[in-house]
Amino acid sequence: MLSNIRIGYACTPCTLPFKTSRSFILKNFGEERFSQCVKENLVDLMNILKWNVENSICMFRISSDIIPFGSHSINTIKWWEMFEVELSACGGYIKDHNLRVSMHPGQYTVLNSPSEDVVTKSISDIEYHCKFLDSLGVDYTNKIILHVGGVYGDKTLSTRRFIDNFKRLSPSAQKRLVVENDDKSYTLEDVLSICETLNIPTVFDNLHHKLNPCPLTFDEILKKVSGTWKKEDGKIKVHYSDQDLEKKNGAHSQFVVSENFLNYIERLENLPIDIMLEVKDKEISAIKCVNLLKSSLEPSVKYTQWAKYKYSVMERNYSEYKKCSKIVNSTSSIKEIYMSIDEALSLPFDQGNFVNGANHVYGYLKDKTTAKEKEAFFTLLEDPRKNKEKIKGTLKRLCFKYDIDYLNNSYYFIY
């Protein structure tokens, strides 16, 4: 199944020491500081891409901040020339490994704003994103994703403004831009109409559609959205996410729920598709989804995955921990293992279980910490509900200090 589907995640990995969003405050803008940030960001972009390939993750959304102040008027540096070698190397790696990258300008990039100043800045920002992708030397299957924008009291007029202002973009930016349905103003049907007018692709976001639906059935959505993707645009690309049940509508969940994801995949009926996960735990869920889609896995995978999750499960509920451990050590599939882990991670905070998990983790440190460190930890543990974040922060710092790699490489400090 993975042969038809590529999985990706956005911007900054949770568990890796790499980031591509180094920046500085505007008043400190200067060529030396700018150059150092860009250099480090591009080094880490390559590091992330290589790690992704090693883990069968073939899509990645590049941070808009990879070039600090990329579209700001203060930035007159020709960074695409300054870093031509590094950009070409990243682009070459993307092409050599059949990866697909994208970028997603932020909420202030609004093509259909009634303010000409906002539109001008938005066009500049889209052109910056386009310049970055062009500088990588990647083809037009690598896209810039944008929302339509606001309604501003007149949806018809606002839609017209988007269409008119799209035509002010450079030919390259027009070829890269794709439009996504949002959770408040523009339904998938609205976006399809715009994209059909402009002859550009539509990105379907399942959570946005759930919150801001249109009458189309899922099968109709797939058919109509697929029809907007031409050969030169590449495979249909969608955004997938679950709702965080403890937060406001539209908030992405901490992790992808395995059962929901597999139900979604089943409804695709083997459609060749690229799925960008929008989820808080980033590459962790990407690995999960890749493993769920693989036709076969090395027997060791379920044990290495369990080793990463086990203390996160334990701190939720010790009985669930024992249940999961039993499943891992049986002939159960990776699907059953992930579903059991998901169930445990969905449980609410429980003081007794949290303390038990923290004590187990501290067991790796007890012969290494100083008397002062030990006292500080157990003082915090006296009020676990109040000090939850401080307790885990302390354990994280101590595990890093004393090189407890088993825990440093786990997901205990993520959830």
One digit per residue, the tens of pLDDT, for the chain of length 415 reads 778 999 999 999 999 999 999 999 999 999 999 999 999 999 999 999 999 999 999 999 999 999 999 999 999 999 999 999 999 999 999 999 999 999 999 999 999 999 999 999 999 999 999 999 999 999 999 999 999 999 999 999 999 999 999 999 999 999 999 999 999 999 999 999 999 999 999 999 999 999 999 999 999 999 999 999 999 999 999 999 999 999 999 999 999 999 999 999 999 998 999 999 999 999 999 999 999 999 999 999 999 999 999 999 999 999 999 999 999 999 999 999 999 999 999 999 999 999 999 999 999 999 999 999 999 999 999 999 999 999 999 999 999 999 999 999 999 999 9
The predicted pLDDT at position 7 comes to 99
The predicted pLDDT at position 3 comes to 82
The span from the first CA to the last CA of the chain, in angstroms, equals 29
The predicted pLDDT at position 39 comes to 98
Residue 132, exposed/middle/buried by CB under 10 A (0-12, 13-18, 19+)?
Answer: buried
Closest CA to 103 of 75, 67, 74: 67
DSSP string of 89-132, one letter each residue: HHHHHHHHTT-EEEE---TT--TT-S-HHHHHHHHHHHHHHHHH
The predicted pLDDT at position 279 comes to 98
DSSP state of 212: S
The predicted pLDDT at position 276 comes to 99
Under 8 Å CB-to-CB from 223, ≥6 apart: which residues?
A: none
Domain 5-293 grouped into CATH 3.20.20.150: yes
E strand or H helix that includes residue 408: helix 405-408
Residues of the chain with CATH 3.20.20.150: 5-293
Q: Which residue has the tokens 């695409």?
A: 80
Measured CA angle at 276 (ends 203, 227), to 5 deg: 30
Q: How far apart are alpha carbons 182 and 2 in whole angstroms?
A: 28
The predicted pLDDT at position 91 comes to 99
The predicted pLDDT at position 108 comes to 96
Under 8 Å CB-to-CB from 273, ≥6 apart: which residues?
A: 4, 5, 235, 236, 237, 238
pTM of the model: 0.96
Q: Are 415 and 281 in contact (CB under 8 A)?
A: yes
